[in-house]
Amino acid sequence: MDINATFIGQIIVFLIMLWFIAKVVVPMIADPINKRYAKIADGLAAADAGQKQLQQASASADQIVREARERAKQVDEQAQRRSTETIEAAKHAALAEGARLLAAAQAEVGNESVRASEALRREFGSLVVKAASTLVEHEVDPATHAKLLERLTDDIARG
């Protein structure tokens, strides 16, 4: 095998082409590929971060739901207590009002009793005066006196 100048020239051109491809063409092709790899890696990292955020958000949502249920339970218990307190307050107010109405009714009955007693005294006084005047008009003998007392007793009993 003869190595001649053409073969050496071809080797030199091949090496220059190899150097040119390595220095110019490969970086032109590798740069977009590297950018694409970096973009894919960033996307995968973002997907992993998104997955972690989703898990955190899910845990946070579960915690919020638990807290909301606890708060709702507390609100329900507080509403029950307030309802019971309101009912008890209404019962006490009703009992107080009933006692007040009973006292007012008893006072009214007492007043009516006093008025009836006064009216009875006045009527009794007029009947006594009437009876005395009737007795004074007549001569009094024991039989007449007994009849008059009997009539007076009948008048008082009727009315």
The runs of H, that is alpha helices, within the chain are 5-20, 26-137, 142-158
Q: Give per-residue pLDDT as tens, 65-74.
A: 999 999 999 9
Lowest mean pLDDT among 2-16, 28-42, 115-129, 132-146: 132-146
Name the pLDDT band for 127 (thresholds 50, 70, 90).
confident
Q: Give per-residue pLDDT as tens, 48-107.
A: 999 999 999 999 999 999 999 999 999 999 999 999 999 999 999 999 999 999 999 998
Dist. CA 112–CA 102, nearest whole Å = 15
Candidate ranges 32-41, 134-143, 147-156; pick with highest mean pLDDT: 32-41
The mean pLDDT value of the chain amounts to: 86
Dist. CA 36–CA 135, nearest whole Å = 142
Tell me the CA end-to-end span of the chain in Å, nearest whole number. 170
Q: Is the whole-model pTM more than 0.75?
A: no
**pLDDT score of 140:** 59
Name the pLDDT band for 117 (thresholds 50, 70, 90).
confident
CA 13 to chain centre: 92
Residues belonging to the chain: 159
* Ranges of each domain in the chain: 5-158
